[in-house]
């Protein structure tokens, strides 16, 4: 059966042991056979449910939290479209997790004042000398350097960004950061970023 006699002997030993255990269970449960079969079927169903859930865990997690970046390989990040129809991503900026809206109409990575505070930048000390045109009109901006920006397992250091001087409900992941990738494209409900 096997090329190795030890493997063949091991296989026959396990087969005999399995048959003996099955016979012992059957003999002990003859009166309770219908209930035992039902219980066995339930356990088999539970086992296959866990195996199936584990096999599809990435799809389940993406559906539960679409803004989590998923690494497809060491240089490729996948984002999933949110329920609102936009792409959002959780980035670790200066050690803090922030959710940003992917905005290809924004030139820069733009932080709200609140998010700037969360990553250790005091907006009251910034010079808001820059100007940006937004859907809500023109706003002032201040240039900052972020120590680190991480998406998935990919980390960039000394990343230029802007702090928005107006009311911004969610920070923006704009072109200046996306251009750090060799390519980025939308494929249905997925955005693929490749280094």
Three-class DSSP labels, 79-94: EEECCCCCEEEEEEEC
**Confidence at residue 70, expressed as pLDDT on a 0 to 100 scale:** 81
Reading the block at residue 59, the tokens are 């799809």
- The three-state secondary structure class of 112 is coil
Residue scoring higher pLDDT (110 or 33): 110
For residue 100, the surrounding DSSP H or E stretch is strand 96-102
- For 77, the token pair is 């990040």
Q: Tens digits of per-residue pLDDT, 76-125?
A: 999 888 888 889 999 999 999 999 999 888 889 999 999 999 999 999 99
Sheet holding 183-187, edge to edge: 70-73, 76-80, 190-194, 183-187
Give residue 17's pLDDT.
Answer: 76
Residues whose CB is less than 8 angstroms from the CB of residue 120 and which lie 6 or more positions away in sequence, other chains included: 94, 96
Three-state SS at 160: strand
Quote the percentage of the chain above a pLDDT of 70.
84
Please give the span between the terminal C-alpha atoms of the chain, in angstroms, as a whole number. 49
pTM: 0.62
Mean pLDDT for the stretch of residues 5-32: 72
- For 98, phi then psi, to 5°, come to -130, 145
Q: In this structure, what token pair is assigned to residue 176? A: 């200046």
pLDDT value, residue 13:
74
């Amino acid at each position: 059966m096997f090329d190795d006699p030890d493997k063949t002997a091991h296989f026959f030993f396990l087969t005999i042991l399995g048959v003996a255990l099955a016979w012992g269970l059957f003999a002990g449960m003859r009166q309770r056979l219908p209930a035992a079969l039902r219980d066995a079927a339930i356990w088999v169903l539970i086992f296959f449910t866990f195996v199936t859930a584990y096999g599809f865990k990435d799809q389940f997690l993406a559906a539960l939290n679409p803004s989590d970046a998923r690494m497809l390989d060491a240089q490729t990040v996948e984002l999933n479209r949110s329920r609102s129809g936009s792409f959002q991503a959780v980035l670790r900026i200066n050690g803090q997790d922030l959710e940003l809206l992917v905005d290809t109409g924004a030139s820069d990575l733009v932080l709200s004042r609140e998010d700037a505070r969360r990553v250790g930048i005091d907006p009251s000390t910034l010079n808001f000398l820059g100007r940006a045109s937004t859907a809500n009109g023109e706003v002032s901006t201040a240039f900052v350097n972020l120590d680190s920006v991480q998406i998935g397992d990919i980390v960039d250091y000394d990343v230029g960004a802007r702090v928005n001087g107006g009311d911004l409900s969610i920070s923006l992941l704009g072109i200046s950061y996306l251009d750090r990738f060799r390519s980025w494209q939308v494929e249905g409900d997925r955005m693929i970023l490749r280094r």
